Amino acid sequence: MTTIIVIYLVFLFVIVSYTKKYTKTSEDFFLAGRNLNWLVAGGSIVATGIGGTAILGYAGAYYHYGIVWHTMFSTAFISALFFAFFVAERVRSIGAQTLPEILGKFYGGKTSLIGAIMIIASDTIIIALQIKAMSHLFVAFLDIPEVWSTILCAILFTSISLIGGFLGVAITDAIGTLFITIGILWVAVVSMNLAGGFQVEKYLQNFSAISWQKMLGNNLSLFGLLFASQSIIFQRLHSVSTPKDAKKSLFVWAVGLVLIMGISVPLIGFSAREILGENLKPDQVIPTMIKQVLSPQSGAILVAVLIGAIMTSANSMLLSVSMNITKDIAETGFNKKYDDKTVLKMGRVFTVILGFITYIIATYITSLIGTIIFVYTAISALVIPLYSGIFGLSKPLGGFLSLLFGIVSGIGWYLIGQPWEIHPVVACYVCGLIGLIIGNTFDSK
């Protein structure tokens, strides 16, 4: 197992080292020169959107809850199609480099700055979560002490982003998507055979009760994350050559979602329940399958797939946050204009600093689920102002108040304990819509 993982990591470093020679400008570093092939961009979306934490978490959720969790896949798939048909070409035609820059074009500098701070804070925490998840894998399967494992993960993420820029990240993402798809399909087939084959009456049922409020909140959180995630979607839409290429890349994302999250991961979760019984904690499903059920070869493939998936997600987000700090804070926020060499140097420096900060945060994270809910709620506050602007439904004051009401209400609802089991993201959307209506009503422009 160790050999397979080391070979895979060395392979990634060879790829990014080769792409380094193509990273000569800040646009190369952040957006691959806006010349990224649509197939590579689509593969990069799949790899970043379907991280190792998602595979681990969703397999455990299918094992614990059953077919009801398939609504989460449905939400992601519908989101991909909506992006492809109604959003991709619009966003690519705007010509912005970052999501806060898009907000700035619609609503002005204050809204752009608030959006930038939200994205930087949220994605930085998500990167720390990826470090924590990958560190757990290193501890469990490579027998590396947790302290050194966390340090190693932070160094790996930072190095790959720093050396190859976005071109290196995108190519390793696309290659990772191919490995993830083949590997997870293989493990799904092996697991299903060990469970006695596909049995409709056993797989298409619910195992444990989950309230409709919680399930609705989970889906709305996923919706918000996807629709306002610069690091997963918007960076890729801006990195391809044309709006049509942006649209094609999203269809690749839809196909990847079907193969991985719609078919393979559910089969692994359902098969695990048949093989292992019903008394495991959800987050122990994949580790237990690897250690007790799968052959050494299949187990090694799955661990390599998970590590690769985590790597691709974290690398992309690290580079995206670096772009936000450089473009939206250092330049736009301080009303400065730097030459391209300075911007490129700043991007590299901020990438290193972020690598260190995410390592520090990772050492203090104790509740993965609680942290994820908090982050998803914060990101979701961007959805209503962003899309009301894209579709021409908002005025500057409306967008600003929508963002302000959304973030305050969502986080406030989370902090007071989520009364009546209503997910904080519901409060975020409702109050964001109220802010939009009030702002549009009183905006004289």
For residue 367, the model assigns a pLDDT of: 56
Q: Report CA Rg, the chain.
A: 21
For residue 373, the model assigns a pLDDT of: 63
In whole angstroms, give the CA distance from residue 82 to residue 63. Answer: 29
For residue 42, the model assigns a pLDDT of: 92
For residue 33, the model assigns a pLDDT of: 86
For residue 369, the model assigns a pLDDT of: 53
For residue 429, the model assigns a pLDDT of: 94
Structural domains of the chain, ranges and CATH numbers in brackets: 2-358 (1.20.1730.10), 381-445 (no CATH)
Q: Which of 315, 314, 173, 319 is nearest to 249 (CA)?
A: 173
Confidence check: pLDDT of 365 > 80 = no
Confidence check: pLDDT of 445 > 80 = no
CB 389 within 8 A of CB 103: yes
Confidence check: pLDDT of 135 > 80 = yes
pLDDT digits (tens, 9 = 90+) for 368-397: 555 666 677 778 899 999 999 999 999 999
Contacts of 198 (CB under 8 A, 6+ apart): 192, 267
Q: Which phi and psi angles does 313 have, rounded to 5°?
A: -65, -50
Mean pLDDT along residues 60-75: 90
CB 264 within 8 A of CB 185: yes
Residue 146: pLDDT band by 50, 70, 90 thresholds?
A: confident
Start-to-end CA span in the chain (Å): 63
In whole angstroms, give the CA distance from residue 333 to residue 288. Answer: 48
Residue 332: pLDDT band by 50, 70, 90 thresholds?
A: confident
Mean pLDDT along residues 63-87: 91
Q: Which of 126-130, 265-269, 308-312, 350-354 has the lowest mean pLDDT?
A: 308-312
pLDDT digits (tens, 9 = 90+) for 180-233: 888 888 888 988 998 888 777 777 788 887 888 888 888 888 888 888 888 888
For residue 423, the model assigns a pLDDT of: 86
For residue 297, the model assigns a pLDDT of: 79
In whole angstroms, give the CA distance from residue 105 to residue 299. Answer: 49
What's the chain's average pLDDT? 87
| Residue found by looking up tokens 């979602």 in the block | 257
Q: Which phi and psi angles does 36 have, rounded to 5°?
A: -70, 135
